[in-house]
Amino acid sequence: MLKLAALVFVVVILPVLLIIYRPELLENFKSREAVDAMVERYRSVSVFFFLAIQIIQIVISVIPGQAVQMAAGYTYSFGIAYIVSMGGAFLGTVAAYYIARFLGRDAMHVIFGDEKIRKFTKTLNSRGAVVTAFVLFLFPGIPKDTLIYAAGISEMKAKIFIPISLIARTPAMMGSILLGGMWKNGSYTGMIILGSVSLALFVLGVIFHSKFTAWFNRVYDRFTENGVGKPK
């Protein structure tokens, strides 16, 4: 009964409450003017605001992660924006992982669909799962938040999964923060170049992520066959 109540709260009640009572959370990231207004409104606690939004984005996925990180890059220096974004990603990943552990396999199948959660869980339980998880988080276009929940009901330990996921997130996160900084400084040529590269990686991630993971699995097998990378 307790797990059912938690499931209903996370999946239904919390998103509805946010949409009804805090619709500005989504509106805040739709334009440069909206970002300025948001920062002015929450100036005294803006760092904690961004941190909370990053956590919420991972746990219930109602806000695009790239938008949050771009807004952080627009508002702060690169270093502060990265620390805030990574801190939120860490806390959100930990929360989502253990929510999945608590709610259990059946609840995850109800939330995300049987086929998707089975696919990700099988991947995370397969040979070379650490390398595969790294690749899946590295490329844009793959539903990373779903993957976190799948990890929570997989055989992969949190102490392995969480650091791997955060390291792999870093390039895309840095790119989004840089885009935000370029937006603030009016470096539109740089935005176009970086945005084009990000878009190309996104398309590659969507189309070829299965081939990428299969290739890394083959590489992993070759290393382990030669005695390299085997656990001691």
Side-chain-side CA neighbours of 124 within 13 Å: the count stands at: 29
pLDDT at 172: 85
SS (H, E, C) the chain: CHHHHHHHHHHHHHHHHHHHHCCHHHHCCCCHHHHHHHHHHCHHHHHHHHHHHHHHHHHHCCCCHHHHHHHHHHHCCHHHHHHHHHHHHHHHHHHHHHHHHHHCHHHHHHHHCHHHHHHHHHHHCCCCHHHHHHHHHHCCCCCHHHHHHHHHCCCCCHHHHHHHHHHHHHHHHHHHHHHHHHHHHCCHHHHHHHHHHHHHHHHHHHHHHHHHHHHHHHHHHHHHHCCCCCCC
- The average confidence (pLDDT) of the chain is 77
Angle between helices 158-185 and 78-103 (to 10 degrees): 140
pLDDT at 25: 63
Predicted structure pTM score? 0.73
What stretches in the chain show pLDDT beneath 50?
227-232
* Contact call for residues 109 and 149 (beta carbons, < 8 A): no
pLDDT at 57: 82
Tokens matching residue 155: 């055989």
pLDDT at 231: 38
pLDDT at 200: 74
Q: What is the pLDDT of residues 32-72, one digit of tens each?
A: 566 667 667 766 677 888 888 888 888 876 666 777 888 88
pLDDT at 29: 59
Residue 224 is which amino acid? T
